[in-house]
Amino acid sequence: MATSAVPTERAISVTVNGTTYDREVEARKLLIHFLRDDLDLTGSHIGCDTGNCGACSVIVDGTLVKSCMLLAVQADGARVETVEGLAAGDELSKLQQAFTAHHALQCGYCTPGMLMSATALLRANPSPSDDEIRKALQGNICRCTGYWNIFEAVKAAAE
Amino acid sequence: MLLREVAYAKPESLAEALEILAADDGARALAGGQTLINVMKARAGSPDTLVDLSGLDDLKGIELGADGTLELGAMTTYSEIIASSEARARPILGEVCAQIADVQVRNRGTIGGNACTNDPTNHLPPLLAALGARFTIAGRGGEQTVPAEEFFLGVYLTAVGTGELLTKITIPAGRNDGFAAVTLGVDGTCVVSAAASLNGSARLALGCVDAVPVVLSPSSTDPDAVRQAVRDTALDPPSDVHASSDYRRHLAEVLAVRAIEQAQRS
Amino acid sequence: MTSTTIAPEKTEQQQEEWKGQNVPRKEDWRLVQGQGVFVDDVKRHGMGYIHFVRSPYAHAHITSIDVSKAEEHPAVYGTLTGEEVAALTDPFFQISSVPGANVKDYALAVGKVRFVGEPIVAVVAETREAARDASELVEIEYEPLDAITDARHARDEGVPTIHEDAGGNLMWEGVYEWGDLDAAFAEADKVVKIDELHFHRFNSTPLECDGALVEYNRGVGQWTIHTNNQFPGFAAIMMGPAMRVGLDKLRFVTQDIGGGFGNKITSHPQLVACCLLARKLNRPVQWTEWRTDFHLSMSHGNERWFLETEVAVKNDGTLLGFRTKALDDAGAYLRYEPLGGVIWAQVTPGMYKWQHVRVDFTQVATNKAPVSPNRGYSRMQHLWFTERMIDIVAHELGLDPVEVRKRNFIKAEDMPYTTPNGCVYDSGDYAKMLDIALELVEYERLAGRRAEAAAAGKLLGVGIGSTLDSGTNNFGQSRLINPELQFSGNNEVATVKLDIFGEIVVTLGTTPQGQSHETTASQVVADILKCSIEDVHVRSGHDSYWNSHAGFSGTYASQFAVTGLGAVKGATEMLRDEILKLAGVVFGGVPAEALELAGGGVRMKENHEAFLPFMACGAIINANNAGLPEDLDVTLNCRYVYRPPFEVPDVERKYGNLTLTYAAQIHVAVIEIDPETGSYDIVDYAAVDDCGKRINPQIVEGQVMGATAQALGAAVHESFVYDEDGNLLTPNFYDYHVPHALDMPPLKTGYIESPSPFTSLGTKGMGEGGGAGIHAVCAAVQDALREHGGAIVWDSSNPYHRVWEMLNDPSKGAHVQVSEA
Ligand SMILES: Cc1cc2nc3c(=O)[nH]c(=O)nc-3n(C[C@H](O)[C@H](O)[C@H](O)COP(=O)(O)OP(=O)(O)OC[C@H]3O[C@@H](n4cnc5c(N)ncnc54)[C@H](O)[C@@H]3O)c2cc1C
Ligand code: FES
Ligand code: FES
């Protein structure tokens, strides 16, 4: 084990969807496990163990990341946005509405990550081209839909 | 998933980082984490301590010198390179970075991490080798700068020794560059890659055909000469589930020609 | 990005119906907000996390297991070993007749490991991380054995035996012969012989892996199993006898499932381990399967060889008959197998009029992950084979693949059509579908496009692929595998009730994984009760305590639109009749015929003022029932079991109707190959579907798209490849490349509707037909290579390196001989 005095646990403070959580965590804990297991925010999912699938995508300080490749301790002091924060009360976001209208989800397991990627895209680029939409979603695997309806939904939300 | 227990430090200066690294043989730098965290998930590697480099301003930023030389801090992310107007001095950099993985990975993965990983399938080692990049390594004893040929030593092995850090990558001025790859799916993992730079003489680097990028200088940019130059290196590429050795050897020739052609057009 | 759609012309006036409309899905509200409840979201106080110690060897004796160090880990609650499992449970019931029947399969490896990734020990700890830490402290010694990874050599002299109890590596074999093969080959002008064809291993890799949270109620001896198993009825039948308990002791609960595609049917071994641990440790236990675990150990699709195939054909392309030796690689255990050895027979002749067929089917064990159903289960393999035969015959005889298909298609006027083995194709018009598909890709422009591609240095190829998505199994077909089995027919249940405030509440026996059952069920109910779908509450998920499941309940094998909705329709009609009866009494003895449902209640046809809302009906029966006539048999809580009309098949002749409906798919792929690298792009793609009446066209189209994407992934990159030592070389999404957004070609879709005469709604099961994409890509690759060496595509997996190999050396393709008969 570590010979230095560097600790394996840390107290962190993370703001998720506007709520600040102060927790003691092991350094080895991934942000996705922190969100799902410690904070019970189970909307973000896990679909792989190699960083390929994007089911765990969240926005950290304005940047889209896969929360399975970030330690919870690295999010200390950060502002995290997850799928649970997309709707305003009972009002679904434009993207959420478009996903429903265009049947852009089947099992819904990839959907939270997909929505976060699309949200990040539309923030940076409110009227993306078809190619830009595809490129923005490349890091999110969906095994149910074949993506075509997802492209349509993002396009519709952008318009 | 589920990493082994690990200690975590987030130093605020390069000196502090080097000190922590020097104090513990089992300490490893954590850059974007887009490789290292996955290695730790698989428990294929388990550092004792992670030294998070994200607080080190010395390792950040892109500078364009008056002579067109580019200096990229090791912690510069692919997304930052793609968005940087300075980096556009060498357009191939942004173009290739935009082909790496996906938005999320590009937002976190760093040029330094990519080079230090030296995974044969990574895009940047052959590109940096072709561009004649130089790598600045800092240790407690001071700094040294090495060319690609001395930097990439083996799979997951570079000139960055225990207790050292790659701080920046310097790319000389130039414009006529190309990159070609056969990948698993569109913009996926490289099966074979080739990077070319025609600034002055032709310089080629091949990826995924050996433990390190294979650098060669064909006598001319004529396709036959390029193919011959690749053949002359007597490659013995690895076979795996994505390609046989023969296929890789063949692709190396094809992609070398294509990289050169792109460089000529650019 | 845009997709073109060809739809049939509307013939009849669209009625005011929910059915047939693209109503938004009821499931979406929770799912787009991250409020679904997937198995890994379920938590219990004090639960322990399970980590399985898995085999690093493909084949080895286990000489010792020592868990003492793991048990000493401060965060560990306990462990479970194969030895304990063997003492506490019986081996799982085997579907196979001998020799497969003799295989002993337990929840954990007992004495021996048979594939890399096989669970050997389970460790339970306070945290996920600690469970894994402690599992590294388990000491296991092995005596490695040679591995068998190539099914073709599984029965060679001197190879090691995987299951000693079975006396060899043969698991099951059977000969299927229908018609008169000798006559067919005598009548033929030509015989086309194909030495070897190979259908590769892959599966649909649902984005969510398997998992469970299991609680044990010591007081009543009952387990509550929160799991994403997609066929709890089957899991229960496997688990109950093994655990020596009645099925009522196993309560299966699920809400949302992150994709299944058949791959979540055979998690019963792990579920048994969870149950034993929950009881042993007296605490809830939780198991999350990670991606690599899933790839290593769960539900690979059937890998199949077709050896020494012979096709009898006339010079004009008329197909008379074929014979082949099908060799199925079951992997290390028979967890649903050898059912794959008969399921293919549902579609024996594909879409064609072959009359004379012989298939010598053999299934062997290998040291690879066990196979189990994967979308298109066993039919996909066989249909790939029939399509391969067509394209090889066309190639060898210099005929147009379109013409060969059209010449041999079963025609619309032949429907219902009885196949040589007694299956009855209910309806369809394959020629018309092919025309639509060809029109979508502008087939007539093809020569021009080929030339344009050639000018750009590319090889253009076009390929057709068809599938029949046979839905609603007759489980009697299991008797063709093992005559001793007492299964036949099929069933599904639904309950529909009117609650005290008039709420319409529906429960289903199914376990949907994205198939939108809540939505389509509410459409069917709303049409019958003349209300809005908003008024219909379909319970999410499945709970075997709801009395709403039957022996074959679950979501698999393309059957919900038939069995599930058939049950919903039946139960809702019962409820409607009860409401009418009750209202008749309330209105003072009005006959039911004088009443009708409308606007959320019952009214007199002649006097709309006389109206009894559902709320009043619910209240009267449930809470205000004094004075009702004694003989009024109305509960407003109706349960209906839908039972499709099936006979037990003739076991001797292997003859009978094995499925109820046949949805059909025809896909056309246009590809461009880069001849220098073998890499290729799908530049145009059409998918035409016919699944009878479409309850919700958008949902149907979603299934078509998803299945197509999976097929294209499987055709190009997705493959479970093993090395000679039995190591899986594609154990995660890094090496097992599934298509992502940039990989998707432009898609054009079309459909026709041929209502099934055999189902109450005219629907057909659908969702599994996507395999057509694999067949189409194979045909397109072969077409593109025609003028460039003419290699014959022999494998269903065609990654770039294989295409390059065939370009580089055409002898790397299938070996085909044509002889004059
Ligand atoms: C799904 C996925 C797909 C990918 N596809 C590609 C691809 O197609 N092409 C490609 O090129 N890459 C690909 N990658 C890898 C990605 O580019 C990584 O970001 C990169 O390999 C490592 O960079 P990093 O900043 O994330 O480094 P880290 O993962 O943090 O570190 C990697 C290694 O480098 C060391 N290191 C990092 N920085 C320094 C430094 N400054 N000094 C000394 N040592 C250092 C670390 O100690 C570690 O050993 C992919 C990654 C994922 C998750
Ligand atoms: S779980 Fe994070 S990328 Fe798959
Ligand atoms: S909807 Fe199931 S994975 Fe995307």
Would you say the CB of residue A55 lies under 6 angstroms from ligand 2?
yes
pLDDT in tens, C518-571: 899 999 999 999 999 999 999 888 898 876 777 787 777 667 778 888 999 999
Distance of CA C672 to the CA centre of its chain: 31
C539-C544-C550-C553 Cα dihedral, nearest 10 degrees: 70
Q: Are residues B188 and B259 in the same domain?
A: yes
pLDDT in tens, C88-142: 999 999 999 999 999 999 999 999 999 999 999 999 999 999 999 999 999 999 9
Residue nearest atom 38 of ligand 1, based on CA coordinates: B113
3-state DSSP assignment of residue C357: strand
Hey, CA dihedral for B77, B80, B85, B91, is it positive or negative? positive
Cβ distance B214 to B233 under 8 Å? yes
Mutate to test the pocket of ligand 1, among B50, B116, B242 (most ligand atoms within 8 A of CB): B116
Hey, CA dihedral for C408, C413, C419, C420, is it positive or negative? negative
Question: What's the domain range around B239?
Answer: 177-265
Cβ distance C663 to C690 under 8 Å? yes
In this predicted structure, the answer to whether residue C629 has a pLDDT above a threshold of 90 is: yes
- How high is the pLDDT of residue C105? 98
Cβ distance B100 to B93 under 8 Å? no
Quick check: C45 contacting A, CB < 8 Å? no
pLDDT in tens, C168-177: 999 999 999 9
A42 within a domain of the structure (yes/no): yes
Confidence of residue C411 (pLDDT cuts 50, 70, 90): very high
- How high is the pLDDT of residue C1? 39
Closest ligand to residue C735's CA: 1
Q: Are residues B100 and B21 in the same domain?
A: no
Q: What is the mean pLDDT of residues B233-252?
A: 97
In this predicted structure, the answer to whether residue C8 has a pLDDT above a threshold of 60 is: no
Confidence of residue C4 (pLDDT cuts 50, 70, 90): low
**For residue A64, which residues of chain B lie inside 8 Å, CB to CB?**
103-104, 107
Question: What's the domain range around A36?
Answer: 9-85
pLDDT in tens, chain A (159 residues): 444 579 999 999 999 999 999 999 999 999 999 999 999 999 999 999 999 999 999 999 999 999 999 999 999 999 999 999 999 999 999 999 999 999 999 999 999 999 999 999 999 999 999 999 999 999 999 999 999 999 999 999 998
Q: Are residues B149 and B183 in the same domain?
A: no
Q: Are residues B255 and B187 in the same domain?
A: yes
Instruction: Output the 3-class SS for C452-504.
Output: HHHHCCCEEEEEEEEEEEEEEECHHHHHHHCCCCCCCCCCEEEEEEECCCCCE
Instruction: Specify the residue for token string 């200390």.
Output: A76
Q: What are the residues whose beta carbons fall under 8 Å from the beta carbon of C444, sequence distance 6 or more?
A: none
| Tokens encoding A117 | 């990627």
Confidence of residue C345 (pLDDT cuts 50, 70, 90): very high
> In chain C, what are the helix, strand and coil shares in percent, each to the nearest 5?
30, 25, 45
CATH fold of C177-203+299-476+649-820 reads Aldehyde Oxidoreductase; domain 4 (3.30.365)
The values of phi and psi at residue C286, to 5°, are -130, 135
CATH fold of C492-642 reads Aldehyde Oxidoreductase; domain 4 (3.30.365)
Of B142, B171, B200, the residue at which a domain comes to its end is: B171
Q: Are residues A77 and A13 in the same domain?
A: yes
Q: Are residues B143 and B232 in the same domain?
A: no
A3 within a domain of the structure (yes/no): no
Q: Are residues A57 and A100 in the same domain?
A: no
In this predicted structure, the answer to whether residue C699 has a pLDDT above a threshold of 90 is: no
Instruction: Output the 3-class SS for C218-242.
Output: CCCCEEEEEECCCCHHHHHHHHHHH
Q: How far apart are CA C396 and CA C406, in angstroms?
A: 17
- How high is the pLDDT of residue C803? 98
- How high is the pLDDT of residue C6? 65
Reported CATH class of domain C39-145+209-257+265-297? alpha beta
pLDDT in tens, C734-774: 999 999 999 999 999 999 999 999 998 898 988 887 789 99
- How high is the pLDDT of residue C314? 97
Q: What are the residues whose beta carbons fall under 8 Å from the beta carbon of C650, sequence distance 6 or more?
A: C422, C656
- How high is the pLDDT of residue C9? 54
**C-alpha distance from residue A107 to each of C31, C293, C747 (Å):** 8, 21, 21
Q: Are residues A21 and A55 in the same domain?
A: yes
Comparing C274 with C550, which gets the higher pLDDT?
A: C274
pLDDT in tens, C667-680: 999 999 999 999 99
Would you say the CB of residue A53 lies under 6 angstroms from ligand 2?
yes
The 10 Å Cβ neighbour count of residue A37 is: 17
Of B118, B141, B171, the residue at which a domain comes to its end is: B171
Q: How far apart are CA B258 and CA C526, in angstroms?
A: 62
Chains that touch C (3 or more CB pairs under 8 A): A, B
3-state DSSP assignment of residue B3: coil
- How high is the pLDDT of residue C540? 85
Q: Are residues B48 and B67 in the same domain?
A: no
Q: Are residues B90 and B109 in the same domain?
A: yes
Q: Are residues A71 and A99 in the same domain?
A: no
Q: Are residues B42 and B64 in the same domain?
A: no
Q: Are residues A62 and A112 in the same domain?
A: no
Nearest CA in chain C to B185: C743
Confidence of residue B238 (pLDDT cuts 50, 70, 90): very high
**C-alpha distance from residue C376 to each of C563, C707, C711, C768 (Å):** 18, 9, 10, 5
CA distance C677 to chain A (A): 24
Work out the angle at residue C614's Cα, subtended by the Cα atoms of residues C609 and C620, and round it to the nearest 5 degrees: 100
Cβ distance C293 to C131 under 8 Å? no
Domain residue spans in chain C? Answer: 39-145+209-257+265-297, 177-203+299-476+649-820, 492-642
A4 within a domain of the structure (yes/no): no
Cβ distance C522 to C26 under 8 Å? yes
pLDDT in tens, C469-492: 998 889 999 999 999 999 999 998
Structural domain total, chain A? 2
Instruction: Output the 3-class SS for C167-198.
Output: CCCEEEEEEEEECCHHHHHHHCCEEEEEEEEE
- How high is the pLDDT of residue C821? 77
A14 within a domain of the structure (yes/no): yes
DSSP C793: P
Chain C residues 785-814 with CB within 8 Å of chain A: none
The 10 Å Cβ neighbour count of residue C87 is: 9
Instruction: Specify the residue for token string 């394996």.
Output: A8
A26 within a domain of the structure (yes/no): yes
Residue nearest atom 1 of ligand 2, based on CA coordinates: A46
**Ligand 1 atom nearest C734 alpha carbon:** 1
Q: How far apart are CA C264 and CA C139, in angstroms?
A: 30
Cβ distance B52 to A74 under 8 Å? yes
Closest ligand to residue A140's CA: 2
Question: In this structure, what CATH number is given to the domain that contains residue B11?
Answer: 3.30.43.10
Q: Are residues B167 and B209 in the same domain?
A: no
B2 within a domain of the structure (yes/no): no
Which of C708, C719, C701, C721 is CA-nearest to residue C682?
Answer: C708
Question: In this structure, what CATH number is given to the domain that contains residue A76?
Answer: 3.10.20.30
CA within 13 Å, CB half, C609: 0
Q: Are residues B99 and B117 in the same domain?
A: yes
Q: Are residues B113 and B202 in the same domain?
A: no
Q: Do B3 and C129 touch (CB under 8 A)?
A: yes
Q: What mean pLDDT, rounded, does chain C reach?
A: 95
Question: In this structure, what CATH number is given to the domain that contains residue B213?
Answer: 3.30.390.50
In the structure, which protein residues have their CB atom closer than 6 angstroms to any atom of ligand 3? A 105-111, 142-145; C 207, 259, 514
Q: Are residues B13 and B115 in the same domain?
A: no
Quick check: B44 contacting A, CB < 8 Å? no
A66 within a domain of the structure (yes/no): yes
pLDDT in tens, C12-27: 434 478 888 888 899 9
Which of C65, C67, C59 is CA-nearest to residue C143?
Answer: C59
pLDDT in tens, C288-299: 999 999 999 999
pLDDT in tens, C379-394: 999 999 999 999 999 9
Q: Do B186 and C729 touch (CB under 8 A)?
A: no
A110 within a domain of the structure (yes/no): yes
pLDDT in tens, C421-438: 999 999 999 999 999 999
Which of A41, A47, A101 has the CB atom closest to C207's CB atom?
A: A47
- Say whether C177-203+299-476+649-820 and C39-145+209-257+265-297 share the same fold: no
Structural domain total, chain B? 3
**For residue B23, which residues of chain A lie inside 8 Å, CB to CB?**
3-4
CA within 13 Å, CB half, A65: 27
